């Protein structure tokens, strides 16, 4: 007889294990057995809860995206004004939960996965649209529309660039330095538009 209330705990353990395994491997080339072992359960139980390795990866991707969204929303609560909202987004991108080496690697492998599976592509598309919309919304309150869109694109590209560098480097760059450089970019762009 199954233990009541264990399913959410086991699903969570499998999702966290998938992120850790992808981070350790640096790719999606991990097995359900590896994920299950890290989670402390059998591969059969992992298949029971998710059905396939791809579904575990999609669930892990959803978790990372949900945690990112929650982190940014938490930062929004103390953000006063559009410039502070931009800072909240940037800070959320480089939070300890998101800029953890395993999570960074998971982000990048999920970008690759988005070229192979429609569900992954859909999730990353939602993330990219939300990031863009939130940046553009705040920036339009500070500068005209075309400039706001251009600055938002540059900001997103810098964020992605730091993730790529973190994944390719033997060590993760200092998140504070990444935040400072992205903030400096936004400030310089806004000053240029105001001049």
Q: What is the mean pLDDT of the chain?
A: 91
Q: What is the pTM of this model?
A: 0.87
Listed residue (76, 91, 102) closest to 175, CA to CA: 91
Confidence (pLDDT) at 134: 96
The widest CA-to-CA distance across the chain, in whole angstroms, is 70
Point out the residues of the chain with pLDDT beneath 70: 1-4, 170-172
CA distance 22 to 41: 18
Confidence (pLDDT) at 1: 40
Confidence (pLDDT) at 192: 94
CA distance 104 to 162: 10
Confidence (pLDDT) at 171: 61
CA distance 13 to 148: 41
Q: 118 vs 46, 57, 68, 136, CA distance in Å?
A: 22, 13, 21, 26
Task: Give the number of other CB atoms < 10 A from CB of residue 175.
Answer: 18
Confidence (pLDDT) at 170: 57
Asked if 43 and 32 touch (Cβ cutoff 8 Å), the reply is yes
Confidence (pLDDT) at 112: 86
pLDDT tens digits, 115-152: 889 999 999 999 999 999 999 999 999 998 899 999 99
């Amino acid at each position: 007889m199954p233990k009541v209330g264990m399913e959410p705990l086991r699903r969570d353990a499998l999702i966290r294990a998938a992120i850790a395994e992808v981070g350790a491997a640096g790719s999606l080339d991990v097995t359900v057995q590896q994920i299950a072992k890290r989670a402390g359960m059998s591969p059969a139980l992992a298949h029971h809860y998710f059905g396939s390795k791809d579904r575990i990866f999609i669930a892990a991707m959803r978790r990372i995206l949900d945690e990112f969204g929650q982190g940014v929303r938490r930062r929004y609560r103390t953000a006063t004004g559009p410039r502070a909202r931009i800072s909240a987004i940037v800070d959320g991108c480089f939070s300890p939960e998101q800029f953890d080496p395993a999570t960074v690697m998971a982000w990048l492998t999920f970008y690759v996965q988005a070229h192979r599976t429609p569900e992954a592509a859909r999730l990353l598309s939602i993330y990219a649209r939300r990031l863009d919309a939130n940046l553009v919304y705040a920036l339009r309150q500070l500068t005209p529309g075309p400039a706001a869109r251009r600055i938002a694109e540059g900001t997103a590209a810098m964020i992605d660039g730091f993730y790529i560098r973190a994944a390719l480097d033997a060590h993760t760059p200092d998140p504070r330095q990444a935040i400072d450089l992205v903030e400096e970019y936004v400030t310089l762009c806004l000053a240029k538009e105001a001049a």
